[in-house]
Amino acid sequence: MFGNSNFDRIRQIFADQFASDAYGYTYRKGQKGAEFRISEAERDNFIATFNRRIRYTIWSIAPATISLILLLAWLTPESDSSEANVAIWIGVGAILLPFLAIYYWSWNAPARELETRKNR
């Protein structure tokens, strides 16, 4: 679940935003945005930071899901009730919304950091 090819592909797509040329590396958000010249160390740091943040975020889903299941079993023992169905959807949203927020925040970290730097 946590080391499958989908997450490897996400990491690769993020790394593909950094292109090498004769002068070092450039960064383009989504491979379409403004181009910024960066060093190899900056590139490596951006990629390592993204990978670490995504790994922590993905691993946090498992305990959050287990906690949700336990909480729902305790608060709504009758699982076929409408209250239980609403609680399930609220719980899933409470897990996925922070995950997505952190994911996009991590994805856009290089662009945020480099936006104050003058374009190439």
Q: Which residues contact 95 (CB under 8 A, 6 or more apart)?
A: 61, 64, 65, 68
* Per-residue pLDDT at 115: 87
* Distance between CA atoms of residues 58 and 52, nearest Å: 10
Residue 8 CA to chain centroid, in angstroms?
12
* Per-residue pLDDT at 25: 94
Helix H or strand E encompassing 37: strand 35-38
Greater model confidence, 118 or 18: 18
Q: Is 46:105 a contact under the CB 8 Å cutoff?
A: no
Q: Note the pLDDT tens digit of each residue in 80-105.
A: 888 888 999 999 999 999 999 999 99
Q: Which residues contact 87 (CB under 8 A, 6 or more apart)?
A: 72, 75, 76
* Distance between CA atoms of residues 68 and 91, nearest Å: 6
The residue-averaged pLDDT of 24-45 equals 91
